[in-house]
Amino acid sequence: RVEGKLDPKHNDRVDWWILQRYDPSSTILDVPKDARFRVDPPFVTEDGARLRVVATSDEPVEYSFEFRRSDKSGNLKVVIHESPNALDAKFPF
C-alpha cells in the first residue's frame, strides 16, 4: 500500500515513487475508482521503475493505492520508496 498527500495550492502537485523488483507482467496497480489523483503508468528503466502520482484538482488530496499480484501463486516482491528528488529535478529520475 502506498499513501501520500498532495496540496497543489502549495506547489505540491506531483509525487514520485521508486519501484524496485517491479514486474509489469505480474503486478496489478489498484487505484480507487473515485480517486482525486492520477497514477501514471510506471516509467521502467534498467535501474528500476518510477511511478508518478498527480493531483487532478486544485484541492489538497490524501491518496492511497495498492500493488497486487496478477496471479495468486506467489509473493509480491515490489519494494516502494518515495523519491528524494528536488522539485525542480529533470525527468527521468
What is the full per-residue pLDDT of the chain (93 aa) written as tens digits? Answer: 889 999 999 888 888 888 888 888 888 888 988 899 999 988 888 777 888 899 999 999 999 988 888 776 666 566 666 666 555 555 554
**Domain assignment present for 55:** yes
pLDDT at 70: 77
Domain that holds residue 44: 2-82
**Domain assignment present for 89:** no
Residues ≥6 apart with Cβ < 8 Å to 78 = 19, 20, 21, 22, 23, 27, 67
**Domain assignment present for 91:** no
Q: How many domains does the chain have?
A: 1
Q: Express each pLDDT in 3-23 by its tens digit.
A: 999 999 988 888 888 888 888
Q: Which residue has the cell 501463486?
A: 73
